[in-house]
Amino acid sequence: MPGTPAHFPQKLGPYELLRLLATGGMAEVYLARRDGPHGFTKTVALKRILPQLARDADFVSMFIDEARVCAQLSHPNLVQVFDFGEAGGELYMAMEFVDGTTGAKVVRKAAALGEYLLLDGTLHIIVSVLRGLEYAHAAVDVHGVPLGLVHRDVSPGNILIARSGSVKLGDFGIARADDFERRTEEGQLKGKLGYMSPEQVTGRKIDARSDLFTLGIVLAELLVSRPLFGVGNELDVLMRIRDADLSVFDRFSSHVHGDLAAIARKALAQDPSDRFQTAGEFAEAIEEFARQQRISIGSSRLVPWMQQTGLITTTRSGEHLLDIPRMPEGARKPHKRPKTPNPDAIVARDVPIHEASPPATGAPPGASAAEAPVSPAVFRVTMGEHIVGPIPYAELVELVATERANGDTPVARGNGPFRPARELPELARLLLSPALSLPPGASTMARDTWEIDRASHAMNLFDLTTRKETGLLLATQNRRRKKVFLVDGAPVLTTSTDKNELLGQQLVSRGMALPMEVDMALALCPRYGGRLGDALVGLGVLRPIELFRALVAQTHERFIDLVTWKFGTLEFIPNVRAEGDAILHGTSAYELITKGLLQGLAEVDLLELLAPFMDAEIRPASAPPFPAAHLRLSHRLATILASVDAPKRFGEVIDQHTADGFASRDDILRALFVGLSARLLITTGFPPLPRKPSVPTLPM
């Protein structure tokens, strides 16, 4: 087995592997040496793909990308790549060996000692990494073309601190660069749990400011010696990052100078536009703070502290250890943390976080889910003049979720007495959820109401998004009902009474869970506060990250489906929020509306809707409500839309693009209809027979 003493030294190409240094998710790193003529020798850190992944094309491509990009980087605060090669079918990368420790070990040591790291050392670490990022973000290739590099894994474990005190950022293994974006698509959740930006978590497009957020996490943790987001189960961590929840920092940063705390909070702003816009700007803010406070940024006290705490020795790797002399009195003056109870366990978040079992409904304080009483197996439900049952809990939940049963429906547990469903603890949370109940006071609030039709439906949704409306959108189509909670025009939570859109059904249809696993999780829902997703995680059916992705996809798909509706009624109640239940934050609705619009209209619909305008003039809006790029159209449709740069007849646009075979008639009609619906294009009389929102009224 690699890494055991019996297997060393080994040979890999021209390198002699001396010992295993670390193993990660994709590769392992060895201390290695290359000997040359006349006594030449070079010690390196040699990285190679894990044997079980060596034939995986995606991992190999990522490894090659890392080597290719890093070979173009040369900066004192970045780990340098010296060599890249292949031996015996194995790829390897020879990198600079940093003899010292890591930022993760520094954070853990300070936490274990109950200390705050020396401020000058903290600032030295952060500024050093920022200077490396400043160089990497602006790096260009040999032809002078910007690489567009984003590290995506700025975490304490990738910050290397040499025994000399120099600081280097390493591991560009999951970095994103413009020329290999194909393997780092938006929506992929990459990075260490607890060290991601809100846009990474929610799958939005990322740029260099994402790295600044994650380094802001490192800064905050060095300042308070506590994990900022990474305590609890994985889904909770993802939610706290999504919301940029700084409650831990707020509670434990009273000793931090106000100006420095403000710098950390700016780096950790939820919206990238509110953060520092470049690594250089971030570094200059810290350096200005240090100048004003007369703090000498450097490692002069950090190195002795690392020696005293045993993080580094006074000898080079491979030499006999010497006794470490005690530091002179007063040389080490750590800032002791106050002896106050810490509700957050100190954990090293570069290692997996163990999930705690959720409390059981009705269980005594401190009781685990395993100690809670098991939910009854069957129920009976009074439906009109008939009694349905006995049925399992899964079917009861389906009846309630699809609104065939409600809080007043008589339900009996087993052979017990009938009572209103709302009185059953296992249904209480479901009946009070945003899916089945309006927030307090919402029923008496003023609302806009309009009928759905094919011509104006998407236009009305685009208008809500453009106006950045916050509130609740209620959609009704026969017995189907949807609720869409909007924040600044973006859907953050969607609910549906459609059986096929329930979480369990969607997980089964995607092959993420078996029907029996969903039924088992539903039976255990009372132990998990009524949350099916938490029950599936508790059973080990889903990983928390898989659940998060499934919930995001469910929100997207429910909203896209609403856009495809061709009839029904919409009501919008302003200023209503789904507090605590929202999954998404900051997700643009423009692309989702466009997807639904393109999916929901067949060519025959487009011909019918646009036939009256074929001889009419279509022109670009003089003041478009938003950039066309927000629609995220395909290249073909975007080109058609952009070609309407002056008044033209519909027929002229169609002839222009069909003559050279660039696009079909269907493509052209779709592009024009999207442009009209988004109000980027204008033609007289569109939409036909408009059904505008009514004057706000109070429901009787």
> Helix, strand or coil for residue 102?
strand
> Which has more confidence, 593 or 185?
593
Cis status of the peptide bond prior to 544, with omega within 30 of 0? no
Q: How far is CA 459 from CA 259, 543, 568, in A?
A: 46, 38, 15
The closest of 332, 337, 330, 335 to 307, measured between CA atoms, is 332
Element (H, E) at 521: helix 515-523
Q: Which residue has the tokens 């339900």?
A: 411
pLDDT in tens, 216-248: 999 999 999 888 986 666 667 878 888 899 999
pLDDT above 70 coverage of the chain, percent: 78
pTM of the predicted model over 0.85 = no
Q: Which two tokens stand for residue 537?
A: 């995680």
Instruction: Give the range among 393-397, 446-450, 509-513 with minimum mean pLDDT.
Output: 393-397
Cis status of the peptide bond prior to 364, with omega within 30 of 0? no
Looking at the DSSP bridge assignments, the partners of residue 450 are 570
Q: Which of 65, 153, 534, 561 is catalytic?
A: 153
The closest of 240, 202, 239, 234 to 220, measured between CA atoms, is 240
With contact defined as beta carbons under 8 Å apart, do 653 and 667 qualify? no
> Helix, strand or coil for residue 587?
coil
Number of helices (H), then strands (E), in the chain: 22, 23
The closest of 483, 486, 445 to 466, measured between CA atoms, is 486
Q: Which two tokens stand for residue 79?
A: 């780990």
Which domains can be identified in the chain, with CATH numbers?
A: 1-97 (3.30.200.20), 100-336 (1.10.510.10), 378-432 (no CATH), 442-589 (no CATH), 601-682 (no CATH)
pLDDT at 660: 81
**Average pLDDT for residues 189-209, to the nearest whole number?**
76
Element (H, E) at 640: helix 635-643
Confidence band, pLDDT 50/70/90 cuts, at residue 259: very high
Question: Positive or negative CA dihedral for 446, 452, 456, 459?
Answer: positive
> Helix, strand or coil for residue 339?
coil
Confidence band, pLDDT 50/70/90 cuts, at residue 521: confident
CB-based burial label for 620 (10 Å; 0-12, 13-18, 19+): middle
In whole angstroms, what is the distance from residue 394 CA to residue 195 CA? 37
Neighbours of 368 (CB within 10 A): 13
Provide the mean pLDDT of the chain: 79
In whole angstroms, what is the distance from residue 54 CA to residue 301 CA? 43
> Helix, strand or coil for residue 72?
coil
Neighbours of 596 (CB within 10 A): 23
- Residue type present at position 47: K
Q: How far is CA 277 from CA 214, 266, 478, in A?
A: 14, 10, 49
> For residue 165, is pLDDT > 50?
yes
> Which has more confidence, 137 or 695?
137
Instruction: Give the range among 387-401, 414-428, 661-675, 681-695 with minimum mean pLDDT.
Output: 681-695
In whole angstroms, what is the distance from residue 199 CA to residue 222 CA? 23
Using CA atoms in the order 619, 622, 623, 629, what is the torsion angle rounded to 10 degrees? 40
Q: How far is CA 63 from CA 26, 397, 446, 567, in A?
A: 9, 47, 57, 51
99 labelled catalytic: no
pLDDT above 90 coverage of the chain, percent: 29
Confidence band, pLDDT 50/70/90 cuts, at residue 681: very high
Q: What is the DSSP letter of 571?
A: E
With contact defined as beta carbons under 8 Å apart, do 112 and 346 qualify? yes
Question: DSSP letters along 283-328, please?
Answer: HHHHHHHHHHHT---SSTTHHHHHHHTTSS-SS-TTSPPPP-PPPP
With contact defined as beta carbons under 8 Å apart, do 667 and 677 qualify? no
Q: Which two tokens stand for residue 42?
A: 């070079």
pLDDT at 169: 92
> Helix, strand or coil for residue 436?
coil
Q: Which two tokens stand for residue 505?
A: 């059904």
Q: How far is CA 128 from CA 77, 86, 132, 287, 390, in A?
A: 6, 33, 6, 11, 67
Confidence band, pLDDT 50/70/90 cuts, at residue 184: very low
Neighbours of 182 (CB within 10 A): 7
Confidence band, pLDDT 50/70/90 cuts, at residue 269: very high
In whole angstroms, what is the distance from residue 173 CA to residue 63 CA? 7
Cis status of the peptide bond prior to 227, with omega within 30 of 0? no
Q: In what order do the strands lie in the sheet with 410-413?
A: 386-392, 378-383, 410-413, 418-420
Please report, in angstroms and rounded to a whole number, the separation of the first and last CA atoms in the chain.
75
